[in-house]
Structure 1
Amino acid sequence: MRKIAMTVAGAALLVGAGLATAPGAQAATPCPSGAVCIRETNGTILSKNIFYSYGAHNLSNVTGYRVVVNSQTGGAGFQECLGYNGTNCSPVYRATGDYAAIDYTPINSLVLVP
């Protein structure tokens, strides 16, 4: 229980500092159903950052803190990768919705998985 409380306290600290919050619901562009999207810092989503097909997608000029939105259906997930072409990747994230903002400067590709 202590670990959970410390994790919640840490998350609250990040949210209070504005580091883990998504853009306001009114300002944010929705991610289309069936896609994974990367939001710009102003809450918009560029068409080049909407991904529908499974497999690796190399990123270009995606830097700074970004929010990823998983709008895929059927339990499909995604991975964030340090290398191009889907190498050196994170675990698979399957939950739908907005993820906490992270620094995308070292991230070079996303992999969509069924």
Structure 2
Amino acid sequence: MTRCALAVTALAAPAIMGAGAPALAAAGPAAPSPARAATVHGCPSGAFCIYPGTGWNQDRPEYVFYSYGAHNIYNEYGWRNTYNNQYADPPGTYPPTVAYCKGYNGTGGAQFANDYLGEGGFDATPINSIEIIKYTGGGTSINPC
């Protein structure tokens, strides 16, 4: 598997997300995040959730991921809301990065990646998997997809 190096700070740009997309965190290293303690929009603490369409689907995520690594998504087209309710591990550091991969099993290059908590979204049409990458410290470069 070939992996490409990406800088997280250069990837979360509104132009990538398209018109009408939710605002993203400003470029630059994210501040360490406090632990999440509650379920938000039906997304349990410690999970990364994907919802069908642009809404919250009555707080019922379509996908709920807890573990690091690649996770395939199937038959997804158009905009998908996301909620990153993961927590920093270890506490006081940064949350896991989520990369949106064009191929299955975390391959094919990343459309973009984010390392922020809370609401987000992506165009699922070219995406076939997401990869959850644990923060390892020492900078903002990651090697997704």
Instruction: Give the TM-score, by structure 2 length.
Output: 0.55
Q: When you count helix as a share of all residues, which structure comes out higher?
A: 1
Query: What residue in structure 1 maps to residue 32 of structure 2?
Result: none
Describe how 1:5-84 pairs up with structure 2 within 5 A: 14=19, 19-21=20-22, 29-41=41-53, 42-44=55-57, 45-46=61-62, 49-74=63-88, 75-84=95-104
Provide the C-alpha distance between the structure 2 equivalents of 1:91 and 1:61, rounded to a whole number of angstroms: 19
SS at match of 1:34: coil
Query: What residue in structure 2 maps to residue 4 of structure 1?
Result: none
Residues 70, 77 of structure 1: 8 Å contact kept: no
Provide the C-alpha distance between the structure 2 equivalents of 1:90 and 1:63, rounded to a whole number of angstroms: 14
Instruction: Give the superposition deviation at 1:91.
Output: 5.0
Q: When you count strand as a share of all residues, which structure comes out higher?
A: 2
Provide the C-alpha distance between the structure 2 equivalents of 1:81 and 1:30, rounded to a whole number of angstroms: 24
Alignment RMSD (CA, Å): 2.6
Provide the C-alpha distance between the structure 1 equivalents of 2:127 and 2:70, rounded to a whole number of angstroms: 12
Instruction: Give the TM-score, by structure 1 length.
Output: 0.69
Letter in 2 for 1:73: Y
Instruction: Give the superposition deviation at 1:58.
Output: 0.6
SS at match of 2:114: coil
Structure 1 gaps of 5+ residues are 1-6, 23-27
- Which deviates further from its counterpart, 102-111 or 28-37? 28-37
Instruction: Give the superposition deviation at 1:72.
Output: 0.7
Q: Percent identity?
A: 38
Runs of 4+ aligned residues of structure 1 deviating over 4 Å after TM superposition are: none
